[in-house]
C-alpha cells in the first residue's frame, strides 16, 4: 500500500525538532526541553491524525457525510461514515479554506464571496482568517499536505506553549512535558482541531506565558517583561479566526494577573494593556472590517437571550471529566447527549484529577499557582453557567454575547498545568493529594453509573462504559499505590506517565476527526458539471431541502442564493426570510419557491434528489441522472438587467468582488446587478465614479445613460484602509521597540 506523503513530512519535522533540542547541550536547557517537547508532540499529532494518515490520499475531514445528500449520494464508494457533529467543517470551514487558497493563488485578496447568500463578505466573516500564518501556509503547500499540516501544527504549537508556560511557572522538564501532552490532546482542542478556533486555542498558553513574564519582571533589566511577547501572541490570536476565544483569553489573562499580582503592579498593568492594545492594532486590518460588518448582521440584531438549561442537567456535564464517552461517541454513531459533543468535551485523561489534586498544594505561598487555580475555578463556573457568574459575564460589553461554555479550554489548561505540578510533587516523593483526587474520581464514576446505568443498558453502551470505568479507576489506584515507591524509583519510571497520558487521550479522542480520501472531498458529479456557469446557462442555484448543501456549492463556483454562515447581513436576511424560515445563526432551506424574490435574485436552477418532484408544475427538467435532477425555474430574471429602461448589457468580466459590465442605453435607466448590496461596493463608469444604489433594499444598482460605456463595480471591506493603517502602525511600534532594546 502506498504511503500518505504527509506522513514522512510530519516525521521529518518532528525529528528535526527533537534533534534541535538534543543538540542544545546542557548550556541551553530551555532549547533542549522545547525541542524534546516538540518531538513528543509530533508523535502525538501523528497518532491523533492517524485516521487520515493511514490512507494513501487521506486528509482529516468529516465530509464523508455528504454521501447522504444529493448529488453526492450516487458517488461510487461513498458512504456516510464521517462525524456528523463536525458538519460545520464540511459546510463552512473547508469550503472557506479552499476559497482562500483559490483567491490568493489567483493574486486576489479575498474580500468578497460571490458564491453564498447571493454574495457576502469573506474577509470580514470572522472565521476566514485570511492573514493567519498557518492559513497562509495552507495556501502555498500542496493541498493534501496543507490539510494535514494545519491541524498537526495547531496541536504541536499549543502543546509547546503549555511546555513554555509550565517551565515559566517552575515545573520540571518531565512535569512540563506531561502538561504539554495533556492540554492539546484534551477534549476541546481535539474537537475544534479542524476549525479556526483551533488556531486561537493553540495560542492561549502562549498569551498566558507572555502575561506571566510581564508579572514576573522585577525591573532589573532585560526584555523578558516587556509587552512585546504579549502583543505578538495576542496579535496572532486575534488574527486566528475566532475573536470570541481571544476575548475569553484576554478575560482569563486579566484575572490571572489580578490574582497573581506583581512586584510593580502599575507597570505590569500598563504593559498588559499596551500588549493587548498593540495586538488589536496589529490585527485591525481584519478586526475593524469584522466589527463594522458584525453591526449589520442579523445575529447581532436578532440573537435573543440564551435559553439556559436546567442547572441539574448542567451539573451532570462535568462527569465527562472521568468518562469521555458518557453520552456515546459521534464518530461511532452512538452519541445521544443533551448537548453538542464538542460543547461538553472536557476529558483531560485518567491521570488528570489525582495529579491535579496533588498539584494544588503549590497554591500555598505561590500566587502564580493560586491565580491558576482561580482561573480554573472561574472557567469551570462560567463554562457550566453557574448562577452569578453567568449573570456577570452576560452584563459585560461584547463578551456578554459570547458562548461561555467554550471557557472549557480554561478548565483543560488549568488541569494540564496542575497535572504537571502534581507530577513534580510525585517525583519529589510526596503527593499525598493523589488520594483525594482518586477519591474524587471514584465519586464521579459512581455518580455517572447511578445516573446513567439504565440509559447505557438500553443503548448497548454498557461494555464501553465498564472499560472506561475500569481504566480510569485503575489509573487512579496505580497512582495512589505508587506513593510507596522511593523517590529514586519514581524518577526511573516517570516516562510512563506521559506515555500513559498519550495513549489514554488517544483512545478517548483519536477517532473524533475522521480521515477521508482527498478525491472524495466535494467530488464533482454530473449534476454539478451541468450547473457550472457556462455561456447560455447563467443564473443562481439552490437545492430542495438539504440538497447541494451550502457552502459546499461554493467549492464548484456555483452562485448559491443560500449560505451557511453565522455572520449574515441583516439586509439580505430580511430578503431570505421571505422564502425560508428565519434563523440568525444556522442554515435554513428554501421552503416558499413561489416567492418573487427568488426571481429577482436570479434563481434559475434547482437541484433535487433523483426522484424528487418539482415544487411547481411549470418547472422544466434540464438534467436527470442517478445523482439528482436539475429543474429550471422559468421566472428567474437575469443577474444583470435594466429596470425601468431599455438597453443592452454584457458582462465583460466577473471575479469575486468585481463586475465589469459593458452597457448601452438610449435613455437614462437603472442597471441592476443581482448581488448583495454592502457599504464596501463602489462603482465607476469608464473611470468616473458613480453612486452605487441599493435596489429593493438588498441589490446593487447604478443609474446610467443615455449612451454607452463600461460599468465597474468593486468591493473593498468597510474599514479596510483604516485597519491596514493601524496594523502597519502596530507593526512599526514592535520594530521600533525591538531596535531600542538592542
Work out the pLDDT band at 77, boundaries 50, 70, 90. Answer: low
pLDDT at 81 over 90: no
What is the per-residue pLDDT across 259-312, written as a single tens digit (0 to 9) for each? 999 999 999 999 999 999 999 999 999 999 999 999 998 877 765 545 677 888
Give 260 or 532, the one with higher predicted confidence. 260
pLDDT of residue 219: 65
pLDDT digits (tens, 9 = 90+) for 503-520: 999 999 999 999 999 999
Residue 78, pLDDT above cutoff 70: no
User: pLDDT value at position 738?
Assistant: 47
Please compute the mean of the pLDDT values over residues 202-220 and round it to a whole number.
91
Query: Where residue 67 falls among pLDDT bands split at 50, 70, 90?
Result: confident
Domains of the chain by range and CATH? 64-122+517-637 (no CATH), 640-721 (2.60.420)
Q: For residue 1, how many other CB atoms are within 10 A of its CB?
A: 6
Rounded to whole angstroms, the Cα distance separating 564 from 117 reads 8
CA distance 473 to 323: 11
Which residues, other chains included, contact 582 with Cβ-Cβ below 8 Å and sequence gap of 6+? 302, 573, 576, 588
CA 249, CA 203: separation in Å to the nearest integer? 9
CB 627 within 8 A of CB 70: yes
User: What stretches of 487-602 show up as alpha helix (H) in DSSP?
Assistant: 487-493, 496-509, 526-531, 570-576, 596-600
Return d(Cα 37, Cα 31) in angstroms, integer: 10
pLDDT of 683 higher than 60: yes
Residue with cell 468593486: 714
Given a contact cutoff of 8 angstroms between Cβ atoms, the answer to whether 651 and 659 are in contact is: yes
Please give the mean pLDDT across all residues of the chain. Answer: 92
Cα–Cα distance between 692 and 689 in angstroms, integer? 9
pLDDT at site 176: 96
CA distances from 507 to 99, 155, 159, 186, 359 (A): 34, 16, 18, 11, 25
3-state percent breakdown (helix, strand, coil) of the chain, nearest 5: 55, 10, 35
Task: Locate 171 and state its grid cell.
Answer: 515545573
pLDDT at 306: 55
Q: pLDDT, tens digit, for every residue of 557-607?
A: 999 999 998 889 999 999 999 999 988 888 999 999 999 999 999 999 999
When pLDDT is averaged across residues 460-484 and rounded to a whole number, the result is 94
390 membership: H or E segment, kind and range: helix 389-394
Residue 471 clears pLDDT 60, i.e. is over it: yes
Residue 742 — very low, low, confident or very high, per pLDDT cuts 50/70/90? very low
- Give the model's confidence band at 157: pLDDT under 50 very low, under 70 low, under 90 confident, else very high: very high
> Comparing C-alpha atoms, which of 624, 646, 715 is closest to residue 124?
715
- Determine the Cα–Cα distance for residues 116 and 541; give it in Å rounded to an integer: 10
pLDDT at 583 (0 to 100): 85
Average pLDDT over residues 64-86: 79
Average pLDDT over residues 705-729: 96
Secondary structure, 3-state, 116-159: CCCCEECCCCCCCCCCCHHHHHHHHCCHHHHHHHHHHHHHHHHH
pLDDT of 44 > 80? The answer is yes
Question: pLDDT grade, residue 217 (50/70/90)?
Answer: confident
Give the pLDDT confidence score for residue 614 in this predicted structure.
94
Whether 351 shows a pLDDT value over 50: the answer reads: yes
All cell numbers assigned to 257: 494577573
The pLDDT of residue 18 is 84
**Residue 650: enclosing H or E segment and its boundaries?**
strand 648-655
CA–chain centroid gap for 252, Å, is: 19
pLDDT band at 394 (very low <50, low <70, confident <90, very high): confident
Average pLDDT over residues 202-229: 85
Among residues 57, 56, 75, the alpha carbon closest in space to that of 66 is found at 75
Q: Distance between CA atoms of 235 and 255, rounded to whole angstroms?
A: 19
Amino acid at each position: 500500500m502506498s504511503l500518505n506523503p504527509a506522513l514522512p513530512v510530519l516525521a521529518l519535522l518532528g525529528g528535526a525538532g527533537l534533534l534541535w533540542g538534543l543538540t542544545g547541550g546542557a548550556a541551553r536547557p530551555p532549547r533542549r526541553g522545547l525541542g524534546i517537547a516538540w518531538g513528543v508532540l509530533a508523535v502525538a499529532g501523528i497518532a491523533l491524525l492517524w485516521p487520515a494518515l493511514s490512507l494513501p490520499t487521506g486528509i482529516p475531514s468529516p465530509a464523508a457525510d455528504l454521501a447522504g445528500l444529493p448529488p453526492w449520494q450516487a458517488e461510487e464508494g461513498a458512504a456516510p461514515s464521517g462525524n456528523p457533529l463536525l458538519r460545520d467543517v464540511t459546510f463552512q470551514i473547508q469550503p472557506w479554506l479552499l476559497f482562500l487558497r483559490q483567491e490568493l493563488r489567483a493574486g486576489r485578496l479575498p474580500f468578497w464571496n460571490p458564491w453564498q447568500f447571493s454574495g457576502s463578505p469573506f474577509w470580514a466573516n470572522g472565521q476566514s482568517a485570511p492573514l493567519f500564518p498557518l492559513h497562509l501556509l495552507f495556501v502555498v503547500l500542496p493541498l493534501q499536505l496543507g490539510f494535514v499540516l494545519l491541524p498537526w501544527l495547531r496541536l504541536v504549537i499549543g502543546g509547546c506553549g503549555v511546555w513554555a508556560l509550565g517551565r515559566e511557572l517552575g515545573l520540571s522538564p518531565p512535569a512540563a512535558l506531561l502538561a504539554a501532552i495533556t492540554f492539546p490532546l484534551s477534549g476541546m482542542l481535539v474537537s475544534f482541531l479542524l476549525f479556526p478556533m483551533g488556531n486561537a486555542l493553540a495560542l492561549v498558553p502562549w498569551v498566558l506565558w507572555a502575561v506571566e513574564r510581564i508579572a514576573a519582571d522585577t525591573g532589573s533589566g532585560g526584555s523578558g517583561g516587556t509587552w512585546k511577547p504579549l502583543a505578538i501572541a495576542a496579535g496572532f490570536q486575534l488574527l486566528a479566526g475566532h475573536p470570541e476565544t481571544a476575548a475569553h483569553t484576554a478575560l482569563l489573562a486579566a484575572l490571572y494577573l489580578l490574582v497573581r499580582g506583581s512586584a510593580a503592579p502599575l507597570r505590569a498593568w500598563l504593559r498588559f494593556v499596551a500588549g493587548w492594545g498593540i495586538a488589536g492594532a496589529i490585527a485591525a486590518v481584519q478586526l475593524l472590517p469584522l466589527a463594522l460588518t458584525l453591526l449589520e448582521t442579523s445575529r447581532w440584531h436578532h440573537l435573543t437571550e440564551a435559553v439556559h438549561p436546567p442547572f441539574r442537567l448542567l451539573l451532570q456535564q462535568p462527569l465527562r471529566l472521568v468518562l469521555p464517552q458518557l453520552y456515546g461517541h459521534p464518530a461511532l454513531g452512538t452519541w445521544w447527549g443533551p448537548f453538542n459533543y464538542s460543547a461538553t468535551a472536557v476529558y483531560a485523561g485518567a491521570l488528570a484529577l489525582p495529579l491535579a489534586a496533588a498539584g494544588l498544594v503549590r497554591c500555598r505561598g505561590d500566587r502564580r499557582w493560586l491565580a491558576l487555580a482561580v482561573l480554573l475555578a472561574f472557567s469551570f463556573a462560567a463554562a457550566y453557567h453557574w448562577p452569578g457568574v453567568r449573570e456577570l459575564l452576560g452584563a459585560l460589553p461584547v463578551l456578554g454575547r459570547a458562548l461561555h461554555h467554550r471557557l472549557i479550554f480554561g478548565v483543560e489548561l488549568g488541569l494540564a498545568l496542575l497535572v504537571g505540578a502534581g507530577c513534580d510533587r510525585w517525583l519529589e516523593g510526596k503527593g499525598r493529594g493523589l488520594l483525594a483526587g482518586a477519591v474524587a474520581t471514584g465519586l464521579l464514576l459512581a455518580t455517572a453509573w447511578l445516573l446513567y446505568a439504565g440509559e447505557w443498558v438500553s443503548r448497548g453502551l454498557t461494555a464501553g462504559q465498564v472499560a472506561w470505568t475500569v481504566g480510569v479507576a485503575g489509573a487512579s489506584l496505580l497512582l495512589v499505590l505508587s506513593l510507596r515507591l522511593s523517590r529514586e524509583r519514581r524518577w526511573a519510571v516517570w516516562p510512563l506517565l506521559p506515555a500513559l497520558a498519550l495513549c489514554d487521550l488517544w483512545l478517548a479522542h483519536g477517532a473524533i476527526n475522521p480521515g477521508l480520501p482527498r478525491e472524495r472531498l466535494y467530488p464533482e458529479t454530473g449534476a454539478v458539471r451541468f450547473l457550472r456557469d457556462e455561456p447560455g446557462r447563467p443564473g443562481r442555484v439552490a437545492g430542495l431541502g438539504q440538497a447541494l448543501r451550502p457552502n459546499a456549492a461554493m467549492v464548484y463556483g456555483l452562485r448559491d442564493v443560500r449560505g451557511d454562515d453565522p455572520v449574515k447581513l441583516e439586509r439580505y436576511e430580511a430578503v431570505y426570510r421571505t422564502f425560508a424560515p428565519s434563523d440568525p445563526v444556522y442554515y435554513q432551506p428554501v421552503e416558499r419557491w413561489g416567492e418573487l424574490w427568488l426571481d429577482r435574485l436570479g434563481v434559475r436552477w434547482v437541484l433535487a434528489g433523483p426522484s424528487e418532484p418539482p415544487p411547481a408544475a411549470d418547472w422544466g427538467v434540464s438534467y436527470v441522472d442517478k445523482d439528482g435532477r436539475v429543474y429550471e425555474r422559468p421566472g428567474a430574471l437575469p443577474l444583470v438587467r435594466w429596470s425601468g429602461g431599455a438597453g443592452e448589457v454584457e458582462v465583460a468580466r466577473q471575479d469575486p468582488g468585481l463586475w465589469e459590465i459593458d452597457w448601452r442605453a438610449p435613455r437614462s435607466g437603472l442597471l441592476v446587478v443581482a448581488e448583495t448590496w454592502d457599504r464596501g461596493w463602489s462603482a465607476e463608469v469608464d473611470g468616473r465614479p458613480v453612486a452605487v444604489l441599493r435596489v429593493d433594499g438588498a441589490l446593487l444598482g447604478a443609474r446610467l445613460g443615455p449612451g454607452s460605456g463600461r460599468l465597474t463595480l468593486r468591493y473593498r471591506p468597510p474599514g479596510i484602509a483604516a485597519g491596514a493603517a493601524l496594523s502597519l502602525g502596530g507593526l512599526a511600534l514592535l520594530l521600533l521597540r525591538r531596535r531600542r532594546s538592542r
